[in-house]
Amino acid sequence: MPESLATRAATSLRLRMQDALDVVSRRRDPLIPPRRLRFVGEGDFAAVGDEYLRHLITLGKLGPDERVLDVGSGIGRIARPLSDYLGPGASYDGFDPDARGIEWSERAYRHRPDFTFAHVDVHNGRYNPTGTVDPATLSFPYEDARFDIVVMVSVLTHVLPDTLENYLREARRVLVPDGRLFATAFLLDGAAREAVAAGTGALPFAAADERYAVVDPDVPEEAVAYDEEWFLDHVAQAGFRKAGIRHGTWTPRESGRAFQDIVVARLS
Ligand SMILES: C[S@@+](CC[C@H](N)C(=O)[O-])C[C@H]1O[C@@H](n2cnc3c(N)ncnc32)[C@H](O)[C@@H]1O
């Protein structure tokens, strides 16, 4: 439900006051954006980023000398822990349709020539409704075989099937022959479907068609879940040979590590 103007003004004022207090009390980490710019989801900005670094290392086998592409880099939540972890020989490139996130990241990382950020004006009903580029036909702005790992955290949960298929193909194109994809998603297997039907899933997805389900049909990119089999078929069709899933806690499961499901796929 849209927030009223008064609620938005009150939230903005509260966040600005907290930002001002952070500056006065020198609590501000220069790689943590001001609260009013944190559009990438709820939760502690630094803690969520640190958690994903652990998943990237343990599940994605990310090494400190690797070249990382962060698709949908937002406002640097994943870049921040990587800026400590990545060392000689490594690099980080991120792109995102949110111009504020990219401008802020470019300023915050200007001391790190190994970190680059690009604005790509792809359309997204939730994040960039005025975008002029169709993400279903976007060519990622990087040459072939440029990266060891492509990261998509909380991005495939905001794109529609044609875009997802294109992004899997593009991930493959920009990866080296033994590269990996580390992506999060909401995947609908039998257990997840049961949880959603019983109302014990975190999000009330309703099927759009046999491939995917959404929470808000008016703004489908608000949150998108995929049929697990369809998703894995397309990972394989894009050229990835092996894919593993670590189911998340968005549906009640004991083995969950993160909130969203994590998929790690390898080209060889
Ligand atoms: C929930 S945020 C996650 C941001 C970041 N990955 C993180 O974990 O902090 C989703 C991000 O995806 C970006 N996004 C939406 N559609 C996209 C697309 N087609 N291609 C790349 N990024 C996209 C949004 O602008 C937003 O920054």
Rg (the chain; Cα; Å): 18
Output the six-digit token pair for 64: 């400190």
Q: How far is the CA of 266 from the centre of ligand 1 (A)?
A: 22
Per-residue pLDDT tens digits for 37-85 = 888 888 899 999 999 999 999 999 999 999 999 999 999 999 999 999 9
pLDDT at residue 1, rounded to an integer: 43
> Has residue 240 got a pLDDT over 80?
yes
CA–CA separation, 138 vs 141, rounded Å? 9
**Better-predicted residue by pLDDT, 198 or 40:** 198
Per-residue pLDDT tens digits for 124-152 = 999 999 999 999 999 999 999 999 999 99
129 lines ligand 1 (CB under 6 A): no
Ligand 1 atom closest to the CA of 126, numbered from 1: 15
117 lines ligand 1 (CB under 6 A): no
Q: Which residues contact 107 (CB under 8 A, 6 or more apart)?
A: none
What are the start-end ranges of the E strands in 2-126? 67-71, 91-96, 115-119
pLDDT at residue 256, rounded to an integer: 62
97 lines ligand 1 (CB under 6 A): yes
Ligand 1 atom closest to the CA of 75, numbered from 1: 9
123 lines ligand 1 (CB under 6 A): no
Mean pLDDT is lowest, of 88-92, 230-234, 249-253, 261-265, for 249-253
3-class state of residue 264 by DSSP: strand
Q: Which of 96, 98, 120, 157 to mutate to test the pocket of ligand 1 (most atoms within 8 A of CB)?
A: 96
260 lines ligand 1 (CB under 6 A): no
- Nearest alpha-carbon partner for 76 in 58, 42, 103, 114: 103
pLDDT at residue 78, rounded to an integer: 98
Class in CATH terms, 33-266: alpha beta
Average pLDDT, the chain: 93
* Nearest protein CA to atom 20 of ligand 1, as residue: 72
Whether the CB-CB separation of 157 and 224 falls below 8 Å is answered with yes
101 lines ligand 1 (CB under 6 A): yes
pLDDT at residue 3, rounded to an integer: 60
Domain range annotation of the chain = 1-30, 33-266
- Nearest alpha-carbon partner for 49 in 69, 28, 66, 74: 74
- What DSSP state is assigned to residue 150? E
pLDDT at residue 6, rounded to an integer: 72
Q: How far is the CA of 74 from the centre of ligand 1 (A)?
A: 5
